[in-house]
Structure 1
Amino acid sequence: MPKIPRISLPLRAGALLAVLALPAAAPGPAQAQHDPREAVSVVSGTAAFPLAIAAAERFSLKSDQAMPVVERLGGARAFQAFCAGQGPRFADAAVTERRMTRAELGACQRKNIAVSETAIGHQAVALGQLPGRAPAGLSLRQIFLALARQVPLEGRLIDNPYRLWSDIDFALPVAPIEIYGPPPGSPLRDAFVELVMQPAAAALPELRGWTAEQRAALAGALRADGVFVELGEDEAETAEQLTRHPGALGIFSFNFLDRQGARLDALAVEGISPRAAAIADGRYPPARPLYVYAKPGQAKDTPGLDGFLAEIRGAAASGPGGYLTLRGLVPLPAGQGGGTAGRVPSGN
């Protein structure tokens, strides 16, 4: 999984990323507004959106305060909106599937915005099948070639011709490729494309001359010839299909597959089985950390901000057994806490 550039200093949960000791700027239109805003404003990445919504709903029910307004923008646009300014007109928090880059942090710094950062857990996707079936593991390249609507072959892009696993690699079984998964626009489908298909496309030598946008478009278009079957968003339906089609694979969130126990086997990806420890330390490729960013200075204008942050960071939400785990969040390991005592991973 591609490494995300990290900000230089190790940070703890809620640690301030940037506080600039600059003279106060003349108040603009946003700064001139001092009336408290009724609802917390949150911007979100695509895959993190269901988590942000769930925490917002729970916070509103428990506190009897206005439901936070959560806007689904995607990672880059969420950070742009978050760092657009300070004050009641601008977002109070961001829930994202990646860490803020140096350039994005710089946009906040230039506006004298102090930012706090908390890692609340991870997101991971996995392929599952009935016990005792083959293949037991696949590479990212093999998954891409099995699922992409078009693939590079002999210097050109063609409709996917692969029908058997052995067509992709002689080491794989001589068996039909049959995969069930979520529909376009669902959080699980978005996560699968971003964590499996896009990294695989980026690593293909045949696509080295392509732009990131071109590779992303290719990776996001899955087969429509019957080899891949789109189901609904209910992962239990996918699991049910596997019992009816014993040789098939299913696309699942890690949490759902883990709860199946011995009913389903998880495939290794790049030789690494999906396990909580491998997800936490970054060894399992189709996984990524999830972060919550906030502007502590906006708490005075948005009274519910501290309460919302306590909710989404709290053990009842992001700890083991928390309600966000039912929506795909993999809790931080013991010792890193849930959200309340978690530490932003060092490195990068």
Structure 2
Amino acid sequence: MRIVIAPDKFAGTLTAAEAARAVAEGWLRSDPEARTDLVPLSDGGPGFVEVLHTALGGRIREAEVCGPLGAPVRASYLLDGDTAYIETSQACGLHLVPARERDPGRTTTRGVGELLALAVADGARTVVLGLGGSATNDAGAGMLAALGAGPAEPLSSGGLALTGVGTVDLAPAVRALEGVRLVAATDVDNPLLGIHGASAVFGPQKGADPDLVQRLDAALAAFADRTDPGGTVREEPGSGAAGGLGFALLLLGASVESGVGRVLSAVRLAERLAGADLVVTGEGSFDHQSLRGKLPHGVARLAGEHAVPCVVTAGRVAVGRAEAAAAGITETWSLTESAGSVEAAMARPAEELRDLAAAVARRWRN
């Protein structure tokens, strides 16, 4: 059998590359004759730059930028010719904020703007920003401030600080990016505001209680009134991505592309599926959001085009068989179920994933 192993990260436990290796090792334990093709993936969140660097080459540029809580963090971008790729979570990611300090009312995207400015100064004429995994909910105001928009202090002080912002001057930020094409790489189609917006849908994952969700939505609405008086940008699909970072990028003229599609094209997954017997993908939590265009859904779609069965191994599975089948997924396997508990799966993720892959291989070998 020829197996393509193409997982996303298992958030909080394994990188995509680590997950791919674990699946391959487990599979070969049960089926030593199998040929495995490891293709670590990313949907635009953590791992975006690493995956693209492996696929495209180019040069990694490192820098120290403002982190989500204001303290400096190390971050990088990939420069491939005159195209730069930025993994925004390196500057504003949830993994950079200790659990006890998570507060999307005060986290900032300023470091994203600093990375963007550095990439442009480095000669980038196209900048692709992978959106995902953020700790922020500031509608990208911090990023705009780093590019010269004002007033700088309130724009850089987190989502709640936007409530009292008066006139916003975006002209310096627009001038700073003159001649540069921006691409927001995301598979989130949420608008900025409302029950499907950045604050309501993603705020709780970043530490917001119901009261803070309401206050943040009101603050972002006030900011949108200052910067989007026609009310059109805030409704665009993807404007709510990464705590509204998509909104700020759209204000600057960015186009929105599928992060999954960009990565699958870069790694040539369609070519690698040709002639394969099976593709194994996965992520930390395979749930209903996974069926709305996230990475396993994109892998399954491509697999279907090549008549290749698609198996999902995930930390947890919260999707029924019928729903998974409708998305082109042949089987789903839960690491939590095979390990016996969430705690066991989290304590030994690589070992448990190897054991699970070995079990899947025995089934397919027979």
| TM bracket (short chain) | under 0.3
TM-score (norm 2): 0.26
TM-score (norm 1): 0.27
The structure having more radius of gyration, on CA atoms, is 1
Q: Which has the larger helix fraction?
A: 2
